[in-house]
Amino acid sequence: MIYLVGTFDTKAEEIGYLHDLLSNGGVDVCAVDVGTRDATARTDVSQADVAKYHPSGTASVLGLADRGQAVAAMSAAFANFCKAYRHKINAIIGIGGGGGTSIITAGMRELPYGVPKIMVSTLASGDVAPFVGTSDIIMMPSVTDIAGLNRISRHILHNAAQSVLGMALHPHIAQDEVKPSVGLSMFGVTTPAVTQITVHLAGQLECVVFHATGTGGRSMEQLLDQGMLDGVIDITTTEIADELVGGVLSAGATRLDAVIASGKPYVGSVGALDIVNFWARDSVPHRFKDRLFHRHNDNVTLMRTSAEECALIGAWIAGKLNKAMGPVCLLLPEKGVSELDILDGPFWDPKADAALFDALENQLEQTERRRLLRLPYHINDPAFSAAAAKAYLDIT
């Protein structure tokens, strides 16, 4: 069944058009109203049906005078609705402006990976990160405002309907997974290390690589939390530097929390902790004006972490890993932590690296199940990759 979601108080005509397209495609359709005012058309799931999923009940959602509060409350209610129906929703398509997009994507983000999710939105051509998060939502620009059917909107909505129909009628058939899975974090400056690790493990494990750009780290930990990964080889922890120093690719303060809670094997390292990421050079905050920078490209500027920042980062990581419930092995590449942090490289700084390593070694509480190993290699040295692969196999 395809769930068709929108605010029936303002988008009933467009939703009706989509409903006909989907029904004519040969699927059952469940129309869900997430509006905050009275609907103007019949629905299968009313706004009151959704509102009761709010933690404080229906009265906390409907009848609110403040539209912002009403949207936030319905977002929370629809998120809980989707959690409750996550195993019944085969596909979902939503349509909305600003408020509708916020409400509907809050629910979509609660659905499992692989469930088809299309959001037709007036906001889809801008920054969609707040709506997509770490999910696999497809954001489709509505082009025109969603304010009645016209020659443009009919075409866009037709394409959206056919897209979700195709995914719903021809679902991916998962193969029987016989290999355990492991998540790996990678950045451009640690690509050789991670690539070589996957080669070492290819015969025994399914390697799932994540780009450590904030979203990647969150996705990896979400999949670990959901049981879709059996462990992690977290070579590239650069997102933590961005979180603590103020870069643009932070995965948030909850980075490593899923590792702590899961009890699953964790091999970590300090890949790209020499780097704090910013966009174009003129976007770098003024307080960093005297720091060492490297121009990655016209749109990305990298800043070298200082010894003081590295000590802070090391203490933060150690504090997190000291709480881990499962086996931990932390690997320190003594000859550099990224492609830039190498002898004669632009970010080569033995003092800063020593501050990072010493903070980790001094503050990580080592036990039989929580170990730290210093390795006399650069992070991209094949010998380091071989050691990382062996360390993971040793603790699983």
Whole-angstrom distance, CA of residue 310 vs CA of residue 168: 48
- Write down the mean pLDDT value for the chain: 96
**What does the pLDDT look like over 263-316, one tens digit per residue?**
999 999 999 999 999 999 999 999 999 999 999 999 999 999 999 999 999 999
Q: Are 51 and 103 in contact (CB under 8 A)?
A: no
In the structure encoding, which two tokens stand for residue 364, read together? Answer: 């990580």
Instruction: Please choose, from the candidates 103, 123, 192, the residue with its C-alpha nearest in 3D space to the C-alpha of residue 378.
Output: 192
Q: Are 223 and 217 in contact (CB under 8 A)?
A: no
Hey, do 2-169 and 181-395 end up sharing a CATH topology, with the first three levels equal? yes
Look at residue 42 and tell me whether its pLDDT is greater than 90.
no
**What does the pLDDT look like over 122-144, one tens digit per residue?**
999 999 999 999 999 999 999 99
Task: List phi, psi (to 5°) of 12.
Answer: -60, -40
Q: Are 169 and 364 in contact (CB under 8 A)?
A: no
**What does the pLDDT look like over 366-393, one tens digit per residue?**
999 999 999 999 999 999 999 999 999 9
SS3 content of the chain, % helix, strand, coil (to 5): 40, 20, 40
CA distances from 9 to 35, 40, 269 (A): 6, 6, 52
Look at residue 176 and tell me whether its pLDDT is greater than 80.
no
Residue with tokens 């920054």: 127
CATH 3.40.50.720 fits 181-395, yes or no: no
> Where are the strands (E) in 56-104, listed by range?
91-96
Look up residue 209 and give its amino acid. V
For β-strands 293-297 and 300-304, DSSP reports them as antiparallel
Task: Report the Cα 392 to chain-centroid distance in Å.
Answer: 24
Question: What are the sequence ranges of the domains in the chain?
Answer: 2-169, 181-395
Q: Is the backbone of residue 89 left (phi > 0), alpha (psi -120 to 50) or beta?
A: beta
Q: Fold for domain 2-169?
A: Rossmann fold (3.40.50)
Longest distance between any two alpha carbons in the chain, whole Å: 70
> Number of helices and strands (H, E) in the chain?
13, 14
**What does the pLDDT look like over 221-266, one tens digit per residue?**
999 999 999 999 999 999 999 999 999 999 999 999 999 999 999 9
